[in-house]
Every structure is written in C-alpha cells, then in structure tokens.
Structure 1
Amino acid sequence: MEAPDLVVPVRETAVNEQLRYALRTWTANLPHRKVWVVGYRPKWLRGVEHIQTAQPGTKYQNTTAAVRSACEHPDVADRFLLMNDDFFVMQRQTEMPVLHRGPVREVERYYSTRASGKYLTGMRETRDLLVGLGHDDPLSYELHVPLPVEKAGMLEALNVGRHLAVVHKRTLYATLSGLGGERIEDVKVLHRGPRFPHGPWLSTMPDAFSNGMAGRHIRTAFVQPSPYEVAGRR
C-alpha cells in the first residue's frame, strides 16, 4: 500500500519551531508520500506542498476550513494522515494505527471539571449530533496524534457538522466512518516538568516545547535538519 500524504493545518506565526521539529520526527519515523501545509507557510520550509487558505475565524473554524480545503484538493491523496504542527512521532512506525481517547462522555466529564467555553460546547454538540444519528455512546478521537483519513468520508462528516460553531471533526469523521481503534491517554504536555509520555507519540504546548523538559527531549533527539528545511535558515 502506498504511503499516505501528511496534511497539517498551520496558523500564521513568526517561526514555528514546533513544526520544524515535528517534520524532523515525521521524516525519521513516519513513512509518507507528500507533506501538505494548509494555511500559512513559514519561509524556512521547502519541499512541501502548500494550500493557501484565509484564516479570518476562530482557530477551530480555521482548522476546519483547512481540512476541507485539503479534502477538496485533487492532488492530495485520497488517504492521508491528519496532523497538527505540534505532533511528534518519537518511534518508527510502519503504519499509523487508529487511536481514540475513550467515550466522549468520559472526556466531557474530565473537561467539565476543568474548563468551559467553546471547546467543551463543541464536544457536547458533536456528541448530541452523533447520538441523534444513532451513535448512542460515541468515542472521542480528539487526541494529539495523527489520524488516518479518507477524503470522501471526511468531507461527508464536515457537511454533516457544518452547522456547528466548533465541530469536533476528528470524532465526527471517525465515528461516522466506523474507525474503531485502540484507546490511549492523550499525549499533550502542558507543563515544563520531567513527567511526559515516552512512547511513540508526543505533543507539547508552546511553552512546554520552548522551556520544558519534553521540548528539550525532542530537540536533543532530533538535531539533524529534515529535507523540509531551507539550509541554514531558522
């Protein structure tokens, strides 16, 4: 089977060192055909495909528009991995597994004790939409790891959820497509301390990457520039 494309929505920012090191980990550990940067393209990037998109909305709206643009682009492979610019693949993979976070009701319970706002509202509205479509206890796929995607199925999911202000598109797509998969804990590191996942998947907040031990671990492990970096440019 041909290696998948990698699709990564990228927000407008000055340098994006997390993306630089994410690309180094993908080069080393995640077999792929092409990298598609959707949205903003940092000046230090080379050898990637670029789909320019406007980013006038919230971060949720902008990433949803980016995923739709990738799915509608004729040159993006029908099968791709949906990435973020802060996903690090720390160990060699032959094929990306499907991973989920457990039932949405459990993830909702976790977030409801810690935060409110648009993200939690979107989680509940996406869950209610799925329940109304006959998925009584849907799983959450809102993990900070790559997600295998089929273009046609994602476009269908985005159309089903297009009325939601914050659609949890990974969860909606994976549930409607019946992906199943294996349950893991999320791998996002929010702090500077020494406790972080040491398995194949890792993700960081900007401060944890720049100033924390998880970020130091990533930068130490991947000192070699990837083919996607303009030589000598930071």
Structure 2
Amino acid sequence: MSALDLVVPVREKAVNQELRYALRSWAAHLPHRRVWIIGYKPTWLAGVRHVPTRQTRTKYANTTAAMWLACEHPEISDPFLYANDDMFVMEPVDEMPVLHRGPVRDVEAYYSARASGQYLRGMRETRDLLARHGHRHPLSYELHVPLPVSKAGMLRALDAGRDLTVLHKRTAFGVLDEIGGERIADVKVLHRGPRFDRSTPFLSTMPDAFANGEVGRVIRGQFTRPCSHELRGR
C-alpha cells in the first residue's frame, strides 16, 4: 500500500508542544504522504495542508465536523490515517496497523468504575447504535493511536450516528466497516510517574504528563531534532 495522508484535528492552542513532538515522531517512524491539519494551525507549522474550521461547539462536535471535512475533501488520500496531536510513534513501523481495545463492554466497565459524563454516555449511545445495526458485541476502537480510515466507511458511520451528541467515531467506523485488527491496551499515560508501558511503539499523553511527567521527558529526549514541519527558529 502506498503511503497515506495523515489527518489531524487541532483545537485552538497557541504553542501545542505535543503536536510538535508528535510530528517529529511521525516524520521519523510512521510512513505517510502529506499532513493535513483540520482546525487551528499553530504559527510554527510548515509544509502541511490546512483546512481551517470554526470551533464553536464541544470538542466532540468539533472533531466530528473535522472528520466530515476530511472525508469529503477530494485531495486527501483514501484511505487516510486519522491521528490526534498527542499520539507519538516511538519506533519505526512499516505501515500503521489496525488496532482495537477489545469489547466495548469491557471498556465501558472500566470507565463506569472511574468516571461519568459525556464520554461514557457517548460510549453507551454508540454501543446501542451499533446493536441496532446488528452488532451486539462490538469492539472498541477508542485507542490513542493513529487509525487507518476509509472515507466511505467513515461517512457511513458519521451518518448513522448523526443524532448522537457524542458519537464514538472510531468505534462506529471500525465496527460498521468491519475492519477487524489486533487488540492492545490503550497507550494513554495519565500521570507524571515513571511507570508506563515502554514495550509498545505507541504512546499518548495528557498535557500535564507531557509537560511535567517522565513520559514527556522520554518523548522530548528521543525527538530532539526539528522536522520538516517546523519553521526554523519557531
């Protein structure tokens, strides 16, 4: 398969050091063609394609709007890689594999024991949506790693979930398009401490963990050289 475009929804944030180091990690380790920034473009970025958006709704609605735009944009590759600005590839991969998090019921149980709110409600609403489409035991694709996405498949998922306030887009697409994949644990590091899985090629961080934690130190220490997507001196 030829290299795919990377599509990254970016919210308004002046500097966004996570994006800077994510780009460095992708340039070093993740084969791709062009980078498309959907939303806000930090001033230090270079050599990327930019599709500006108004970000006046919730973060979930904003990223859904960004996904619609990406799937309908004629110049973005089909398929493409969908990534967030806090996803890091720590080792070379030949191409991005399809990865999932296991059954939605297990992920739901994990979050039910720890939190509530819009995200968990959206998970349940997406699960019920998939059950109505005949998928009674769906897999979760809500991992913090890049995801290969086909435009037609994602558009079908977005259309099916258009009435949901918080659609779990990755899961809806992965299940309805029956993409399969390999199961891994989520790679998001939530804390500042030194204990996190270093055996995986993939990492993701919370802002505090990136700025003040051991995981951020490891990421910044590995990718010290600017990449082609950074303006010199910025």
Which residue of the partner structure matches residue 9 of structure 1?
9
Deviation at 1:197, TM superposition (A): 2.1
Provide the TM-score with structure 2 as the length reference: 0.99
Cα deviations by residue, 1:172-192 (Å, 9 ceiling, x for unpaired): 000001011111000000100
Which residue of the partner structure matches residue 207 of structure 1?
208
Deviation at 1:152, TM superposition (A): 1.1
The separation in 2 between residues aligned to 1:41 and 1:197, in whole angstroms, is 31
Cα deviations by residue, 1:61-94 (Å, 9 ceiling, x for unpaired): 1011111111111100111110000000000010
2:232 counterpart letter in structure 1: A
**Runs of 4+ with deviation above 3 angstroms:** none
1:215 counterpart letter in structure 2: G
The separation in 2 between residues aligned to 1:3 and 1:197, in whole angstroms, is 28
Which residue of the partner structure matches residue 219 of structure 2?
218
% same residue: 67
Which residue of the partner structure matches residue 137 of structure 2?
137
Which residue of the partner structure matches residue 158 of structure 2?
158
Q: What secondary structure sits across from 1:137 in the alignment?
A: coil
Which residue of the partner structure matches residue 63 of structure 1?
63
Which residue of the partner structure matches residue 149 of structure 2?
149
The separation in 1 between residues aligned to 2:180 and 2:119, in whole angstroms, is 23
The separation in 1 between residues aligned to 2:140 and 2:57, in whole angstroms, is 24
**Superposed, which structure 2 residues align to 1:110-125 within 5 Å?**
110-125=110-125
Q: What secondary structure sits across from 1:75 in the alignment?
A: coil
Q: Which runs of 5+ in 1 are unaligned?
A: none
Q: Which runs of 5+ in 2 are unaligned?
A: none
Provide the TM-score with structure 1 as the length reference: 0.99
Which residue of the partner structure matches residue 100 of structure 1?
100
Deviation at 1:208, TM superposition (A): 0.2
The separation in 2 between residues aligned to 1:66 and 1:20, in whole angstroms, is 20
For these two proteins, the number of residue pairs brought into alignment is 233
Which residue of the partner structure matches residue 43 of structure 1?
43
Deviation at 1:136, TM superposition (A): 1.0
Measured on the aligned residues, the alpha-carbon RMSD in Å equals 0.5
The separation in 2 between residues aligned to 1:197 and 1:165, in whole angstroms, is 33
